C-alpha cells in the first residue's frame, strides 16, 4: 500500500521504519529539512519538505493515490486539519494521533477511521504493568470489553503437560476465557493452538478473557505445584 505519514518526529519515523519492513511504500511530510533528510537517507522513504496542511505539498506527495494517511503530528488541531483534507481527497483509510480527549469527536466527525490516543495508550500500559506485573503484554478490544493478555507458564505450573481441551474443561478455568495463541519456546513463532495442543514448561500463551475474569485467569494459569509433587 501507499502510506502517507504526516510528521517525521519519533512516532512518524518509527512508524515509517516498521511499515517499510512490511513492504509498504512510504512517503513522509514534515516542515523540518533535517527530519526529511533523515527519512530519505536513513529510512529509505520519500520525504516532502513543507506543511502537511498545504494542498500543494499534499498533491506533490501523492495524496490522490494514497491508500492510508497517518497523521502523527503533536498538535491535535493540525491532525484534525489533515484528517479533513484526507477525507476531502477521498483517502480510503485515515489514522490520526490524538493527545487530548477533547479532539476525539471532532476527529471522528472529520473522517478519521482510527484514532490513537498516545496518552491513553501510555497510561493504560503503565497501569497494566502495575496491576498485572506477571503479564508480559495486554491489549484491550471493544472499549475494554475484551482483554487479550500474553502470559508465561512457569515450569512448575499445574497446567504443564495438559492439553488445551483439558484446561478448558477444568471447572476453575473461567467460562468466558479462551487460549487463542501458544508459543512453546521464545525462539519459536506464535502458533494457533487446538484442543490437542499440550502446554510445555516455560511456554507462553495468549488468552482472551473478560475484564472481570482477568485475575482468576492469571491465578489459574500460573498456579504452581510443589516441586516434590509426584505428578511433576
Chain mean pLDDT for the chain? 90
What percent of the chain stands above pLDDT 70?
Answer: 95
217 compared with 85, residue with greater pLDDT: 85
104 and 20 assigned to the same domain: yes
Residue 42 belongs to domain with CATH number? 3.40.50.720
Cα–Cα distances (Å) from 180 to 135, 194, 205, in that order, read: 16, 9, 8
pLDDT the model gives residue 32: 96
If pLDDT is split at 50, 70 and 90, which confidence band does 56 have? very high
Dihedral over alpha carbons 102, 104, 106, 112 (to 10 degrees) = 160
Residues 32 and 115 in one domain: yes
Contact 215, 151 (CB under 8 A): no
Can you give the residue range of the structural domain that contains 205? Answer: 132-221
pLDDT tens figures, 175-222? 889 999 999 988 888 899 999 999 998 899 999 999 888 888 988 988
CATH number at 167 reads 3.30.70.1450
The answer to whether 53 and 82 are in contact (CB under 8 A) is: yes
Q: Rounded distance, CA 98 to CA 80, Å? A: 9
pLDDT band of residue 232 (cuts 50, 70, 90) is very low
Residue 38: pLDDT over 90: yes
Whether residues 88 and 35 fall in one domain? yes
Amino acid at each position: 500500500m501507499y502510506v502517507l505519514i504526516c510528521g517525521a518526529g519519533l512516532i512518524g519515523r518509527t512508524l515509517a521504519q516498521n511499515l517499510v519492513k512490511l513492504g509498504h511504500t512510504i512517503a513522509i511530510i514534515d516542515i523540518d529539512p533535517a527530519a526529511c533528510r533523515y527519512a530519505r537517507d536513513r529510512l529509505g522513504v520519500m520525504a516532502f519538505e513543507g506543511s502537511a496542511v498545504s494542498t500543494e505539498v499534499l498533491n506533490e506527495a501523492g495524496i490522490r493515490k494514497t491508500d492510508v494517511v497517518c497523521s502523527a503530528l503533536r498538535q491535535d488541531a493540525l491532525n484534525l486539519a489533515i484528517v479533513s483534507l484526507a477525507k476531502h481527497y477521498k483517502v480510503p483509510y485515515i489514522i490520526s494521533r490524538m493527545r487530548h480527549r477533547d479532539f476525539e469527536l471532532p476527529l471522528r466527525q472529520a473522517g478519521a477511521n482510527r484514532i490513537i490516543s498516545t496518552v491513553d495508550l501510555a497510561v493504560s500500559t503503565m497501569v497494566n504493568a502495575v496491576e498485572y506485573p506477571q503479564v508480559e503484554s495486554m491489549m484491550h478490544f471493544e472499549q475494554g470489553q475484551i482483554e487479550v493478555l500474553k502470559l508465561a507458564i512457569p515450569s512448575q505450573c499445574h497446567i504443564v503437560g495438559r492439553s488445551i481441551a483439558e484446561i478448558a474443561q477444568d471447572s476453575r478455568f473461567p467460562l468466558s476465557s479462551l487460549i487463542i495463541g501458544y508459543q512453546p519456546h521464545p525462539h519459536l513463532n506464535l502458533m494457533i493452538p487446538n484442543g490437542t495442543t499440550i502446554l510445555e514448561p516455560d511456554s507462553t500463551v495468549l488468552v482472551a478473557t473478560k475484564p472481570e475474569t482477568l485475575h482468576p485467569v492469571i491465578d489459574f494459569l500460573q498456579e504452581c505445584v510443589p516441586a516434590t509433587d509426584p505428578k511433576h
